[in-house]
């Protein structure tokens, strides 16, 4: 099996950290500063079970200014070109999670693009386990995700499972 998957999501949710964890290399710059990833970055993971090219993209947000708008379009274009979209969000504290306007806008764009899409819930190291399920339910109401995979990109938890799930959809 082989194919292309794009990492799509708001700034700072951990897309670049995930690419680095998947590839085991520091190919994408990770930073607490938004807009660190300015271009597409490709990381190829090759294992006996298959090969996946992951494309890291700039964060999608309400862009002001030409460069920012260009970066957002770059990310959405990547989503159009791949076999599978990994929509990355970060875990949020609170028992009644809200999706928020930023993620809602991305979901609307992804609906139109119409690619098989995973919900990747990152930073689960930062919230109590009991809060992950309400978050999953909230998002599942909004979008027909092909898979939902909670991970910690920083710690590596769930990342192998994510890779296997990606292969399963190629
Ligand atoms: P991107 O803008 O989506 O590419 O996000 P980055 O990968 O640059 O990460 C943004 C910030 O979130 C950095 O400070 C990372 O160290 C942090 N971060 C990324 N993944 C995790 C995670 O799994 N857990 C925690 N606690 N922080 C993370
Ligand atoms: Mg990045």
Rounded to whole angstroms, the Cα distance separating 95 from 36 reads 31
> What average pLDDT score do residues 97-119 get?
96
pTM of the model: 0.96
> What average pLDDT score do residues 103-110 get?
96
Candidates 30, 160, 136, 162; CA nearest to 84 is 162
Tell me the pLDDT tens digit for each residue of 76-99. Answer: 999 999 999 999 999 988 888 899
Pure H helices in 15-149: 15-23, 66-81, 100-113, 132-140
pLDDT greater at residue 10 or residue 67: 10
Tell me the pLDDT tens digit for each residue of 41-82. Answer: 999 999 999 999 999 999 999 888 898 898 899 999 999 999
Given this model, what pLDDT does residue 36 score? 85
CB 120 within 8 A of CB 149: yes
Q: Which atom of ligand 1 is nearest to the CA of 56?
A: 4
* Mutation pick for ligand 1 pocket among 6, 10, 12 (CB with most ligand atoms within 8 Å): 12
Tell me the pLDDT tens digit for each residue of 12-40. Answer: 999 999 999 999 998 888 888 888 887 88
Q: Which atom of ligand 1 is nearest to the CA of 9?
A: 3
Candidates 1, 8, 17; CA nearest to 115 is 8
Domains and CATH numbers, the chain: 2-168 (3.40.50.300)
3-state helix, strand, coil in the chain (%, to 5): 40, 25, 40
Rounded to whole angstroms, the Cα distance separating 39 from 81 reads 15
Q: CA 130, 106, 68, 79 torsion: positive or negative?
A: positive
Q: Which range is least confidently modeled, 34-38, 51-55, 139-143, 164-168?
A: 34-38
Name the residue with tokens 């930062």: 126
Given this model, what pLDDT does residue 28 score? 86
């Amino acid at each position: 099996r082989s194919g292309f998957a794009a990492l799509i999501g708001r700034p700072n949710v951990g897309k670049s950290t995930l690419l680095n964890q998947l590839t085991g290399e520091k190919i994408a710059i990770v930073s607490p500063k938004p807009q660190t990833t300015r271009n597409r970055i490709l990381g190829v993971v090759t294992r006996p079970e298959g090969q996946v090219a992951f494309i890291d993209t700039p964060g999608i947000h309400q862009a002001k200014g030409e460069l920012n708008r260009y970066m957002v379009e770059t990310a959405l274009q990547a989503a159009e070109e791949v076999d599978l979209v990994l929509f990355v969000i970060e875990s949020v504290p609170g028992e009644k999670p809200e999706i928020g306007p930023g993620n809602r806008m991305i979901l609307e764009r992804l609906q139109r693009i119409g690619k098989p899409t995973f919900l990747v819930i990152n930073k689960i190291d930062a919230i109590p386990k009991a809060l992950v399920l309400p978050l999953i339910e909230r998002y599942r109401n909004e979008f027909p995700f092909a898979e939902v995979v909670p991970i910690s990109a920083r710690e590596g938890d769930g990342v192998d499972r994510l890779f296997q799930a990606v292969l399963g959809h190629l």
